[in-house]
Amino acid sequence: MLLLFAFINFSSLDAQVKKITVKGFVKDETGLTLPGVGVSVKGTSFGTTTTSDGAYTIQAEPNQTLVFSFIGYQTKEVTVNARTEINIVLQSDVHSLDQVVVIGYGTVKKSDLTGSVGTIKADEIKQTPTIRLDDAMRGKVAGLQITPTSSAPGAASTIRIRGSNSLQGNNEPLYVIDGFVGAGNLNDINTADIESVEILKDASATAIYGSRGSNGVIIITTKKGKAGVTKISYDTYANFASPTRFLNVMNAAQFASWQNEVKGFLAYPNPESLGAGTNYQKEIYKNNALMMNHNLSVSGGNDKSIFYVSGNYLDQDGIHIESNFKRYQFRVNTENKIGEKFKFGTNLSLSRTINKDKNTSAEDLIGWFPTIPVKDANGNFTYQTQTTELASDNPVSVSVQSLNTTYAFRTIGNAYGELEILKGLKYKLNFGLNYNTGRTDQYLPTTLFSQTANQGTATINNTEYTNLLIENTLNYNKTIGDHSFSGLFGYTRQTIKNFNNSVQTTGFVTDAYAYNNLAAGVVRSDATSNNTLEGLESYLFRANYSYKSKYLITTSARLDGSSVFAKNNKWGTFPSVALAWNIGNENFIRDLGTFDNLKLRASYGELGNPGVDPGASLTKLAQNGNNYILGASQSLVAGIAANTLGNDNLKWETTKQYNYGIDVGFFKNRLSASLDYYTKKTTNLLVNVPVLWLTGFQTSLSNFGSVSNKGFEVTINSVNLDKGNFKWTTNFNIATNKNKILDLSDPTGKVLINNIGRGSTSISGILQEGQPLGSFYGLVANGIWHSQAEIDASGLSGFSVFPGGRRYVDIDGDKVINQTLDRQIIGNANPKIFGGIGNTLSYKRLELNFYFSFVQGNQIFNETGSRIGVAFDNNTFAEFVNRWTPTNTNTNVPSVQAVQRSLTVSNSSYVEDGSFLRLRNVSLSYDLPVKNIKWLNGAQVYVSGTNVLLFDNYSGYDPEVNRGFNNTRRGYDLAQDPSTKSFTLGARFNF
């Protein structure tokens, strides 16, 4: 149906009649030409934009009015009066309050906004060449914290808006793309198609999304066509990425000497003869990994129909050898009018991605033997068999020989119709579809040492995801004198079906089939399938009132019913209210002559977070481990039994949020700022709590506990200089967030979490009342013991108290270093402040942009150190060359004995400063003169660098890292791949 709408839309373009051609140039008050100015015919959807030289051409009737609009300048209207040439001068009006901001189920003028909303426009997004939107948003909005989980192509980031609300539930924001709620994966969105991104932060802005709004909402609006001459745009670039840095590990000679001491015998009789050996980081991670990106778009239309069509092809090599990501994407957005009362349209995106992922972890390659070359003298891949402790494949062999490819196809879009029933009253019907299919093919060949027993392993995983949405909304707008009213009422239904299955076989006589013939495997080693269905039914409401644009009030509420929750709590109501006072419009403020804008805001609301999978409230059955021996023959019979305990009272987590804000502008709004203070309290946390043993279960998912977040957000925008052909603007944001656990289900007020280290069960994290989520827990390191005399003088004893051993603080004062009793909180993953600052300098045709992001006050738990920095059958850090020995006591590096795996314990030596300042992006562009080229309206060439500079104190690959999406693992670095710095060469053309 979506495709049918798209094709119908192109058939209704009408011919223009009785019009003349008007040409001219648009300049600012200094005489500088302005490219990209919107030029439209008032009362119609017919329009165009100025070229790079500020020129425009448009058709209009002799008595119609032209409207010239450009962000940062006052809108100007001019009557044609049968003229064929009209030159325009626009006056500066930086950060105009008439700018439209997208909110849930509608738009609002910035001057009438009562909630806390951050906006990122297309011009800001295109400054950072990237395949993922989250990369382009980093550091751009106060209170928005984005942390990558990997540098692999297409890898997602964790995103937090105003901190973390949940312990076990979801903490990621809700995504809305062109009105489709719950759009999900950002990999399939072409950033060149994006018109704007709005980040809804406070309860007033997000309550319209009810049970899914507690983590904030990110609304993505894609581009639409404009009436006028058809435009063709082409953008292409080449990007070259390299690792930012490598970890400093031992070379072959150092490693051999280390191993001789670890093993207690001469495993390597002559270490020095081995030299540097093989650095497997440099074998695996390559420089100048190439990414090619091509975007082509066509847009246009007339008074009745507009369209935007685009295509994208992307091919990205990762820095990890054999990794690659390809994307083919097509988009068509259309809108048509039938008469004056009805319009309909579509937003449709089709994408195909192919992700060739790595099969080697950074932990394995960092620790692999530098004494072993990649290949032997016969050209065959080597493997480690020099000891009986460990035998494995070298990481290059695994990366090259194994197969791991994921194919995904996605269709996401909506078809809508809108009818004006009465003046100011509109009904809109919207159908949405988000359909994804995926297949992951994996094969580990018989040539790998690890497959000696299995003789090859083939696995195929299939997924199918269907998300159907139907929305009915009524919008009403009315102005009576100084009073303005608007209202929204809606009813929506959404159904989500998720299916997956997986089959694995082993025992192949040949690698020729790979994963293409599972039946060729002798043994079916695994087979699983899963199918879930969930539904959401909602009623939503919003009302706005404004008096003289001075006094504003917004109320909203959403009633959600979800199949995810238990029969006693299927429904929940989520209300909000917001007040704003445009005090700058009051005469007593205007008479001061100080403020161009001054607005006070306050809001309160309640939001939900489902945070659990379908069926979480139900008692579930499982077959695994429930077999029985029955009958006279005593045959083994498969049985089924309950494996989870249901909860008929399970319900949403609820977040109550207060927000207080002020917006201010000075010097004709050349300097503007926004300040927000918020407090949030999340109750009814979804956690597994202990239950009585007689139930047959240990825990049950319940609502228990609470968490708070509070902080400040500051955004400042300024035009520092605007004179002649030179302009310099700055945007700055900074935020704080203080997280605290208020109540836990455990009667002790604390829960110990997160084991670390291979072969170790040492606890490294803690959930504790009064402390933040993301607290690290362990012993407090205080150097090493240099001598027995030092030990004797201290009077201490314990597991680590020996010459060369790690020295820990005796917290309880009992003179015994105990792995349990001497632990305390040793770090916090949450930053004290974070933000960004960007500058744009333009001179004639040149434009320079550079953007810094920063984080200060957080710690990182270097889990890589707990696994690599041990005395075992693996390579380790080069710092251990200077380890303590009886002949080298003047050092703070522990001895071999001190870092045995059995002594690995969480301690503050693994906790490092995570603060950093990063030059996120710098770009230089030049608009080519195309005035004399009739078929070309604009051309630009540009060069940019991403992650060019990094100032930090972290010893790992990168301080901007997170171990997956588990909220209790925030701030952990477990051998993620190195981050990348990249350079881009590109060009843009408008025809």
Question: What does 281-307 look like in DSSP terms, one character per residue?
Answer: HHHHB-SSEEEEEEEEEEEEE-SSEEE
Tokens of 629: 């021996």
Structure tokens at 442: 């994996």
**Cα 550 → chain centroid:** 37
Secondary structure in 3-state letters for 927-960:
ECCCCCCCCCCEEEEEEEEEEEEEEECCCCCCCC
pTM score, whole prediction: 0.86
Q: Which two tokens stand for residue 891?
A: 């050092």
Q: Is 31 helix (H, G, I), strand (E, B) or coil?
A: coil
Which pLDDT value is given to residue 758?
67
Nearest of 470, 449, 326, 314 to residue 380 by alpha carbon: 449
CA angle 351/353/359 to nearest 5° reads 165
Q: Enumerate the H helices of 152-233 as residue ranges.
A: 203-206
> What token pair was written down for 238?
């080449």
- Residue 717 sits at the vertex; the CA angle it makes with 715 and 723, to the nearest 5 degrees, is 170
Instruction: State the pLDDT at residue 718.
Output: 94
Give me the residues of the chain with pLDDT under 50, please: 1-16, 94-95, 387-389
Bridge partners, residue 73, by sequence: 92
Q: How far apart, in whole angstroms, are the C-alpha atoms of residue 39 and residue 46?
A: 9
DSSP designation for 380: P
**Burial status of residue 683 (CB atoms within 10 A of its CB: 0-12, 13-18, 19 or more):** middle
Residues 6 or more apart whose CB falls under 8 angstroms from that of 346 comprise 2, 5, 6, 9, 332, 333, 334, 413, 414, 415, 416
What string of DSSP letters covers 811-863? TT-SSEE-TTTT-EEEEESS-SEEEEEEEEEEETTEEEEEEEEEEES-EEE-H
| Two tokens, residue 908 | 């503050």
- Tell me the C-alpha distance between 880 and 969, whole Å: 28
d(CA 636, CA 877): 52
Q: Which amino acid is at 848?
A: L
Closest CA to 471 of 489, 487, 492: 492
What is the phi-psi region of residue 87: left when phi exceeds 0, alpha when psi lies from -120 to 50, beta otherwise? beta
d(CA 472, CA 492): 6
For the chain, the C-alpha Rg in angstroms (whole number) is 31
Residue 720 has a pLDDT of: 93
**What pLDDT, on a 0 to 100 scale, did the predictor assign at position 95?**
45
Phi, psi of 300 (to 5 degrees): 165, -155
- Cα 803 from Cα 884, distance rounded (Å): 8
pLDDT at residue 487 in the model: 93
Query: Are residues 127 and 133 in contact, defined by beta-carbon separation less than 8 angstroms?
Result: no
**Given this model, what pLDDT does residue 559 score?**
94
- Backbone torsions φ then ψ of 258, nearest 5 degrees: -60, -45
Nearest to 801 by CA among 678, 908, 894: 894
Identity of the amino acid at 980: T
Whole-number pLDDT of residue 317: 94
Enumerate residues 6+ apart whose C-beta is below 8 A from 696. Answer: 642
For residue 227, count other CB atoms closer than 10 A to its CB: 22
Query: So what's the pLDDT on residue 16?
Result: 44
Cβ 48 vs Cβ 57: under 8 Å: yes
Say if CB 216 and CB 203 are below 8 A apart.
no
Q: Tell me what pLDDT residue 669 has.
A: 86
> Residue 208 in contact with residue 573, Cβ under 8 Å?
no
Number of residues written out for the chain? 991
Q: How far apart are CA 641 and CA 622, in angstroms?
A: 6
Encoded tokens for 841: 């300098």
Name the one residue in this structure whose structure tokens are 């051609």: 21
Please state, in angstroms and rounded to a whole number, the distance separating the CA atoms of residues 762 and 765.
10
| pLDDT of 240 | 96
The string over 824-854, giving b where at least 16 C-beta atoms fall within 10 Å of a residue's C-beta and e elsewhere, is ebbbbbbbebbbbbbbbbbeebebebbbbbb
In eight-state DSSP terms, residue 895 is P
Alpha-carbon span 806 to 573, nearest angstrom: 55
Q: Chain-centre distance of CA 515, in angstroms?
A: 32
Tens-place pLDDT, residues 489-503? 999 999 999 999 999
Contact 355, 328 (CB under 8 A): no
The tokens of 349 are what? Answer: 């995106």
Q: Are 727 and 737 in contact (CB under 8 A)?
A: no
Q: Are 910 and 829 in contact (CB under 8 A)?
A: no
Distance separating alpha carbons of residues 155 and 406, to the nearest angstrom: 13
3-state helix, strand, coil in the chain (%, to 5): 10, 50, 40
| β strands within 866-933, DSSP E | 911-913, 916-927
How far apart CA 330 and CA 312 sit, in angstroms, is: 6
Helix, strand or coil, per DSSP, at residue 512: coil
Tokens 């990094």 correspond to 950
Q: In 3D, which of 101, 169, 98, 108 has the Cα closest to residue 141?
A: 101
Element (H, E) at 255: helix 252-263
Q: Is the CB of residue 223 less than 8 Å from the CB of residue 308?
A: yes
> CA-to-CA distance for 891 and 897, rounded, in angstroms?
15
Give CA separation, 276 vs 84, 253, 380, in Å. 76, 6, 21
Residue 880 CA to residue 462 CA, distance in Å, equals 46
Name residue 502's beta-bridge partners: 461, 528
CA-based nearest residue to 23, from 86, 73, 68, 70: 86
